Amino acid sequence: MKNTTKMKVLGIALLVIVASGAYLIAADHIDAPGVTGSGSASLGSDITDVYAFANGDNMVFVVNTQGLMSPAATAAATFDEEVMLEINIDNDASKDHVEDLVIQATFKDGKVHIHGPKAPVTTGLISTQVSGTTVSADITEYGDAPVIGTAGGIKVFAGPRDDPFFFDLTTYKEIIAGTASMFDNPGTDTFAGTNVMSLVVEVPKSQLGTGTIDIWATSNRKN
């Protein structure tokens, strides 16, 4: 993939965080047909959740894709080599919702490659791969111990994981229909037993600027 490759945004997930590690949760497990579509190739751009939290002097970013996979489907699941996942970081004082740094992940021949954090070549709905590769790792296969790549203080993991998102969809629908008034505690996790393809990147805070940051993630299919 050339450094000048431009990619269209297909999936987007938004998360606003502060450096202290507070986080906001939202989930979207099935996107529009243009993202989920038919065939495994299009599933690779369907983001389910984005998480960010502090781990000491580091920030950890998680971008989960391909939600609601059964264990059987997970064994055959792969990251789409035509899709780049991008973590966008807005770290200037104005918080203008324009990314000042990007962390990009590409997938090729069983490996994940991280590019950045670097200033973006392009902002907005088109993403361009930034130059250089910061760290790479083998993509962890289903059931195997996690493979973690480390270089320059940055760590990366990519592979299948149990979906951590908890949501009682059945009760939610009952509440909407007026046949239930509230959730049970603890409720029933609709996503129990389903998996996602997870990208995890841990980066020293010192590489992300100072003050607070807003982040969002996009999936971008190669033109």
88 binds Ca ion per the rule CB under 5 A:
yes
> Least distance (Å) from Ca ion to the CB of residue 156?
19
* Cβ-based neighbours of 137, under 8 Å, separated by 6 or more: 111, 112, 147, 148, 149, 156, 157, 158
> Least distance (Å) from Ca ion to the CB of residue 67?
22
Tell me 141's DSSP state.
P
Instruction: Tell which one of 31, 49, 90, 202 touches Ca ion (CB under 5 A).
Output: 90
> Least distance (Å) from Ca ion to the CB of residue 75?
32
Q: Contact, 204 vs 58, CB < 8 A?
A: yes
Contact letters for Ca ion, residues 123-142 (x by CB under 5 A)? ----x---------------
**Considering only 18-26, 65-73, 91-99, 202-210, which stretch makes contact with Ca ion by CB under 5 A?**
91-99
**Considering only 67-75, 87-95, 132-140, 180-188, which stretch makes contact with Ca ion by CB under 5 A?**
87-95
96 binds Ca ion per the rule CB under 5 A:
yes
92 binds Ca ion per the rule CB under 5 A:
yes
* Cα 131-135-140 angle, rounded to 5 deg: 130
Helix (H) or strand (E) holding 72: helix 71-76
Tell me 206's DSSP state.
G
> Least distance (Å) from Ca ion to the CB of residue 182?
39
Q: What is the DSSP string of 33-89?
A: HHHH-SSHHHHTT-EEEEEEEEETTEEEEEEEEEEEE-HHHHHH----TTEEEEEEE
Q: Contact, 137 vs 156, CB < 8 A?
A: yes
Q: Contact, 17 vs 38, CB < 8 A?
A: no
Rounded distance between C-alpha atoms, residue 223 and residue 220, angstroms: 9
Residue 72 tokens, joined: 């059987």
Size of interface with Ca ion, in residues (CB under 5 A): 7
Indicate the residue among 180 and 222 with the shorter CB distance to Ca ion. 222
214 binds Ca ion per the rule CB under 5 A:
no
Rounded distance between C-alpha atoms, residue 163 and residue 73, angstroms: 14
> Least distance (Å) from Ca ion to the CB of residue 99?
5
Indicate the residue among 165 and 216 with the shorter CB distance to Ca ion. 216
Local structure of 4: helix, strand or coil: coil
**Considering only 10-18, 44-52, 94-102, 136-144, which stretch makes contact with Ca ion by CB under 5 A?**
94-102
**Considering only 57-65, 96-104, 146-154, 179-187, which stretch makes contact with Ca ion by CB under 5 A?**
96-104
Binding residues for Ca ion (CB under 5 A): 88, 90, 92, 96, 98, 100, 127
